[in-house]
């Protein structure tokens, strides 16, 4: 289990590993939605997190999971990576 420590913002890609390896935001770490509940216990509750996926659905669920673990400063990228490529997609 990895331990995430506080920094300015932690960018988390909650897509599957294959998608993460093919393309991800600079500085992002991979933490699949499947593993998030277990990993949330080791995450810094004071850190700021930005979560993203392809279209925003999984990152919205991931944000809810983290908030359920009393990790409050959590945001998800509305519309996901698709919205970054085409703002009309959001």
Specify the CATH class of 10-81 in words.
Answer: alpha beta
Q: Which residue(s) pair with 75 in the sheet?
A: 50
pLDDT tens track for 45-62: 989 999 999 999 999 999
pTM for the whole thing? 0.85
**Which residue out of 10, 53, 66, 81 is catalytically annotated?**
53
CA dist list (Å): 61 to 8, 51, 79, 86, 88: 23, 10, 13, 22, 22
Question: Residue 61 contacts by C-beta under 8 Å, 6 or more apart in sequence?
Answer: 33
**Beta carbons of 14 and 31 less than 8 angstroms apart:** yes
> What residue ranges do the domains of the chain occupy?
10-81
What is the C-alpha to C-alpha distance for residues 33 and 53, in angstroms, rounded to an integer? 10
pLDDT tens, residue by residue, 3-26: 555 458 999 999 999 999 999 999
* pLDDT-derived band at 84, boundaries 50, 70, 90: confident
Residue 58 makes CB contacts below 8 A (sequence gap 6+) with 14, 15, 33
Report how far residue 65's alpha carbon sits from residue 51's, in angstroms, rounded to the nearest whole number: 11
Active site residue 53: yes
């Amino acid at each position: 289990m990895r331990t995430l420590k506080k920094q300015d913002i932690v960018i988390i890609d909650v897509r599957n590993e294959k998608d993460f390896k093919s393309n991800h935001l600079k500085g992002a770490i991979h933490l699949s939605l499947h593993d998030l509940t277990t990993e949330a216990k080791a995450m810094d509750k004071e850190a700021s997190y930005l979560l993203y996926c392809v279209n925003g659905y999984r990152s919205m669920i991931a944000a809810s999971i983290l908030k359920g673990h009393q990790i409050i400063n959590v945001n998800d990228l509305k519309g996901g990576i698709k919205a970054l490529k085409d703002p009309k997609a959001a």
